[in-house]
Amino acid sequence: MSKFPVIMLIFLFSSACYAEMQEADDSNVVLTVNVINGTANGSGVVGDVVTVEIFQHNQLLVTLEDKAAENGKAVFNNVPTGEHSVAVAGAMHQNMKFKGRPFAISSKQVDADVKVFDVSYDKSKLSVKIHHFIIKANADTLLISEYIQLDNSSDTAISSEQSDSQGRAIVLEMSLPMGYRNFKTTSFFEQDALVMTPDGFYDTYAVAPGRYDLNFTYTLDINSGALDIIKKITVPTSSFVLFAELGQAKIEGLGHAEKASAASGMPIEYYKFSDLSPQDDVALRITGFNVETSSFFSWMLLSVVFGAVFILILFRLRK
């Protein structure tokens, strides 16, 4: 027997053993989650339920759960790992869930922090520093984008004593114009915490201290030569700016407009408002939409269809 096959067998056997040892070693990762209360003189975190979500290739692989001990720590042994694995630690404090930042498990001993806050119901601490309301006209729709900088100036998480029919807290309410469609959000909101209504939506999660960027978009159908839009203010707002890129259409009801240009070179009009309260609204009418051409062709198409059906009926009656 030659030496080459023997060497190959030894190499393959060693590789298999090393792979098994590597896999076994990976399962011995110890993750310690430290729960910290960020509220001054806040309540203790002992007994708070701590979770760790393990994601692999952006898919949830497993959720681990434990409780914070007297030192505020929860220790997880044999944490599963793998290529492209990311973990997110969270904790339930005063019936509100708080999450930490995503992190990679890159060593045998991993530490992660989750900051929680005591919960209060003083919604007066919530305010909007900046609100940009951007309208852009397309062929038969208006695309509206809203950017909001939300501020919680307290050191507690703001929730609400008001709840819906399913017992979910109605924390942050946002009004949308009548007839909105195709709502999409790209930041801040958790999809499972949003509840959509005919008048807008509300968020059921508490708002932790700090400033947050909110972004969402939706569309309004253009079905006549004029369109009325009412944007109701639901949170005290320091600065509200409405931008409009409308082409031939014009805005009525907002007074004098400032002029600017978009990156594409298209002209933009904008209107500034300040110190708006939840009793205020921004009401405007957009006129000058050209819907006659599309309506004409729609009627022509319907006429052709009904004409064809009528001829077919006559033909069958003659037979």
Q: Indicate whether 240 belongs to any domain.
A: yes
DSSP for 71-125, please give it: TSEEEE-S----TTEEEEEEEEETTEEEE---EE--SSEEEEEEEE--EE--GGG
Digit-coded pLDDT (tens) for 149-173: 999 999 999 999 999 999 999 999 9
Q: Indicate whether 84 belongs to any domain.
A: yes
Q: Indicate whether 250 belongs to any domain.
A: yes
Q: Do 155 and 250 belong to one domain? A: yes
Which one of 117, 149, 167 terminates a domain?
117
Digit-coded pLDDT (tens) for 90-131: 999 998 899 999 998 877 888 999 999 999 999 999 999 999
pLDDT at 105: 83
Q: Do 153 and 270 belong to one domain? A: yes
Q: Kindly list the strands in the beta sheet with 281-287, ordered across the sheet, starting from the edge strand earlier in the chain.
A: 226-232, 281-287, 250-252
- Containing structural domain, residue 78: 26-117
Q: Do 97 and 131 belong to one domain? A: no
Q: Do 78 and 176 belong to one domain? A: no
Identify the CATH number of the domain in which residue 41 sits. Answer: 2.60.40.10
Q: How many CA atoms lie within 13 A of 133 on its CB side?
A: 23
Report the distance separating Cα 145 and Cα 182, nearest Å: 12
Q: Do 65 and 93 belong to one domain? A: yes
The pLDDT of residue 47 is above 70: yes
Q: Do 96 and 167 belong to one domain? A: no
Q: Is the pTM of this model over 0.85?
A: no
Digit-coded pLDDT (tens) for 208-255: 999 999 999 999 999 888 999 999 999 999 999 999 999 888 999 998
Segment among 11-25, 192-206, 267-281 with least mean pLDDT: 11-25
Q: Do 127 and 270 belong to one domain? A: yes
pLDDT at 311: 59
Q: Indicate whether 194 belongs to any domain.
A: yes
Report the distance separating Cα 217 and Cα 133, nearest Å: 10
- Count: domains in the chain: 2
